[in-house]
Every structure is written in C-alpha cells, then in structure tokens.
Structure 1
C-alpha cells in the first residue's frame, strides 16, 4: 500500500528520535538515572515516539487493525505525560539547588510529588479511555462516509488532570524565575531551558484539548477534515520535537549535580546541605 502523510511523519519521527534516544540515555547515565529522574523521562519520551511511530507504520499492511491504531495513540499519550513529568522533575532539580543555599521555595517537594501523582492518574485514565475507543475506531475504519468517534469521559478526565499538572509546572517556573538570582549559576541555563520549552508544551496540550473536548473537525482524527494532519504535525509533532531538542541541548551543557537526589528523597534534604 502507498504511504499516507501520517506514515511519512512516523518515518521522520523514527529517524529523529533514534539519535535523540541515544542523547537521552547519555544524559540519564551522566546525571544519574535515580538522581535526576527528569532525564530518564526524556528516554521514555523517545522510546514512546519510536514505538508509536513503528506501530503506525505497521498499519500500512493492515489499515483495518484497530488495535495497532489504539496502541499507537497510547504511545502518544505516554509521551505527552512523560514530557510534563520531565519538566516537573527538572524544575525540581533547580528548586533543590535553591534550597541548598538556605532559601525557601514556593514549590515544596510535597507539591512536586502530588503533581507527579496527578499526571500518572491522568495517564492511566487516558489509556483506559483509548482502550474503550478501540471498537468505535474499528467501526469508523469500515465506514466510507463521515463518522465521529466519541471521546470517552476517562480520556477527558485524564487530559484534564495532565493540563492541571502542566499549569502547576508553568506557575512553578514563573515563580522560580522571580528567584533567579538565588539559582546556582549552572542551573540557570536549565531554568531558562524549562521556561523556553513551556510555550511549546502548552501548544501541544492545547492541541490535545481541542481534539478531546472540542468539536472542530480540523482537530478530529476521525470524522474530521484532511487538514487535521497539518495541525497534528504543527501543534503536536513539531512542538514535542522542539521540547526535546531544547532540554537535551541544555542538558549537554550542565555539569553533574553532586549529591542530587530524586523527588521522592527530597524529604531528607535539609537547607544548606544533604
């Protein structure tokens, strides 16, 4: 069968995210898999995009396989959630550096952990919702005329939670920017990198919101219009790629943070040291 535009996008994603995965693995191993979990989530994002794109390409020989389509969409949900957690954890690294200097931060470790729990619950709900869409997607594939796939309430609730968590990360970044003078010199690049990546993440989430909550056919993969693919490319694929490029680029310039700990272990960190 001939390749669709979506298939070509998948090929491009595999070509881009394969080296991105190598860089993410290097960053995670250099900075520490457990010490700075933000870099680990870049690995998860890259793997999710490679696997999701591969599943999409697998539909070339089986266009009616709803399971492949749903599995590919699940990978996209995992990637979006992982990006938000990545931003949250990298912000946590900056906040930890501030606390070490004896300065209190508006965002506490408990806030960070709560945000991660909210994101994970949102991801689980999104996956459950997409599983429920499997039968409808299968029916939509067999219909030649216009058709609409109803987005389950679980998917809507899941995305709502992820949106709320991203709002928390954006607020935390804004407040931390106001404390930029207290940020460790090397970590300022990371803080500004997070701030630079956030607009792209917001556009990506807005695209998901329009597709999940809206009725505009331009943002509907089923029952929509042909221009959907270009919105998907511009507001989805490219936005994610920009985030990964920014974070990996900044990560390569950072020194290893000595004595850093993961979010789950911040409770034992005291002001001014470990």
Structure 2
C-alpha cells in the first residue's frame, strides 16, 4: 500500500507530537506529577497521538491487520479526555492561587468530582471501542457502541464543567497571584477548540455520519475539526506551562487551606 493522504497526515502528527512529548515530560518534571499540575495527562495525550499515528502508518505494510485499525480508532476517540484533564489541572492551580487570598465558589473537591466523571468516561470509551472492534472483525463495519456514547456524554459533561469553572474563576481572577492569571486565559482560549473537537466526535457517535468516522471518513474533516484543534490546544497549554513558575508543595497546601498570606510581588 502506498502512502496516501491519511498516512501523510499521520506523518505530520508524528513530526509535531514527538517534540511535544519531550516538552510534556519536561513540564511534568518541572511542575511535578501532582493533580494540581496536570502535566502527566499531557504525556498521556501526546503518547496516544503518537501511537495512533504509528498504528495508521503500520497499515501500509499490514493492510489487513484489523487490530491496527481498531487501535487507531480507539486512540483517536479517547484522546480528548487527557486534554480535558490537563485543563482541570490548570484550573486546579489557578483555584489554589486565588483561594490564598479570596474564597471562591470553586474548591478542589469540585474539580476532583469533575475529573472523576472524565476518568469514568475514558474507561467506558475504551470498553466501547473494544466492543466496536469485535464487531468490525465480524462485519467489517466499525460502529459506536452504547458505552462509547455514554463515555462521550461524560466528556461533554466534563467540557461543561471546565467552561463553568472558568467562568466562575474569572469573577475572582484579580485575586490570583502575579503570573498566574495567564492560566485562565489559556483555558479560555482552548474552550472553542475543545468544543469543535467534541462536535466532530458527536456527529459520528450520535449521528453516525460516515464522513465523520475517524477510521474511514473524510481525512480533511478529521484534520480540520479534530487534529488541528488538538495541536492548537497543545501549543497553548505547553506554551503557558513553559512560562509558569514552579509551585512548591507548601504553596499548594496553603492555597487549598485558604490561609491568609501576604501577597508576594514575584
């Protein structure tokens, strides 16, 4: 099988995400593995994108290997979850920063519950993707299962939670520490991009439009409504992450307990 349009897009994905993975690892080492950092989820996302591209390119030499197509489709579908978890991590950090000086309606527990919805969604999506793969082996058609639909519904609920949290925190953003306000701006910029990505997934999962199938649909639609949006989000998140100071554990604990501290100038 020759390299076609879809495979060419996969090559471009590899070119972008290999250095993006390196930056994600750097950010994770710099900011830590804690939930309030969230960068470990960027590692998961970039790995998922690299693996999905590798699966797609592997079909050049193994065009009849069903497992490669199923793995590609599942990774395309669930990768939006880690991006949302990165957003929750960023929101957790800005929440801790604001709560040092001003009590907001958002607490760490609220964000934990929203993250739990997302994690349940990714589990259901994986199980649903495996079930779809079994049907694909039997019928040659890859159709979304009920569990996949429920999982996507939880991703949509997570998006609503991110949007609502960002809106609530914007009312108190003036109380954030210097240099931290850009975090909320980064999340706000990512919201329209995440919305387009979820619309792409929803049209196929709920409407079953063949053009929106990541496995066999239009590559141009996939590129313009999913892959480019994800790349833009990664650029925004990692770009902001590289500019943020390292938060020590004492700072995080202080923010969660909402103890009164004098504002620093740095």
Q: Same fold (TM over 0.5)?
A: yes
Residues 220-267 of structure 1: CA deviation (Å, up to 9, x unaligned) = 35675xxx21110001100000000001111111111233678xx899
List runs of 5+ in structure 2 lacking aligned partners: 262-266
Cα distance change of structure 1 residues 67 and 218 upon mapping to structure 2, 3 Å threshold: same
Give distance in 2, aligned partners of 1:4 and 1:260: 53
The answer (yes or no) to whether the contact 1:25–1:43 under 8 Å persists in 2 is yes
Q: Does 1:124 align with 2:123?
A: yes
Cα drift, residue 36 of structure 1: 3.7
Cα distance change of structure 1 residues 266 and 154 upon mapping to structure 2, 3 Å threshold: farther
**In the TM superposition, what are the counterparts of 1:128-147 in structure 2 within 5 Å?**
128-139=127-138, 141=140
Residue aligning to 2:28:
28
Residue aligning to 1:199:
192
Cα distance change of structure 1 residues 41 and 156 upon mapping to structure 2, 3 Å threshold: same
Residue aligning to 1:245:
235
SS at structure 1 position matched to 2:23: helix
Cα distance change of structure 1 residues 166 and 119 upon mapping to structure 2, 3 Å threshold: same
**In the TM superposition, what are the counterparts of 1:167-246 in structure 2 within 5 Å?**
167-221=160-214, 228-246=218-236
Cα distance change of structure 1 residues 64 and 266 upon mapping to structure 2, 3 Å threshold: farther
The answer (yes or no) to whether the contact 2:73–2:215 under 8 Å persists in 1 is no
The answer (yes or no) to whether the contact 2:127–2:147 under 8 Å persists in 1 is yes
Residue aligning to 1:144:
none
Residue aligning to 1:96:
96
Cα drift, residue 44 of structure 1: 1.1
The answer (yes or no) to whether the contact 2:204–2:213 under 8 Å persists in 1 is yes
Cα drift, residue 73 of structure 1: 2.1
Residues 79-132 of structure 1: CA deviation (Å, up to 9, x unaligned) = 21100111011111000001111x112222111111111111110110111111
Cα distance change of structure 1 residues 36 and 260 upon mapping to structure 2, 3 Å threshold: farther
Residue aligning to 2:114:
115
SS at structure 1 position matched to 2:260: coil
Cα drift, residue 11 of structure 1: 0.8
Give distance in 1, aligned partners of 2:204 and 2:222: 10
Cα distance change of structure 1 residues 3 and 155 upon mapping to structure 2, 3 Å threshold: same
The answer (yes or no) to whether the contact 1:24–1:40 under 8 Å persists in 2 is yes
SS at structure 2 position matched to 1:61: coil
Cα drift, residue 75 of structure 1: 2.1
Q: TM-score scaled to structure 1, two decimals?
A: 0.88
Cα drift, residue 268 of structure 1: 6.3
Give distance in 2, aligned partners of 1:42 and 1:196: 17
List runs of 5+ in structure 1 lacking aligned partners: 142-147
Cα distance change of structure 1 residues 242 and 137 upon mapping to structure 2, 3 Å threshold: same
Give distance in 1, aligned partners of 2:255 and 2:184: 22
Give distance in 1, aligned partners of 2:250 and 2:66: 44
SS at structure 2 position matched to 1:105: coil
Give distance in 2, aligned partners of 1:260 and 1:166: 30
Give distance in 2, aligned partners of 1:5 and 1:266: 52
Give distance in 1, aligned partners of 2:113 and 2:7: 37
Give distance in 1, aligned partners of 2:195 and 2:118: 15
SS at structure 2 position matched to 1:2: coil
Moved more, 252-261 or 45-54: 252-261
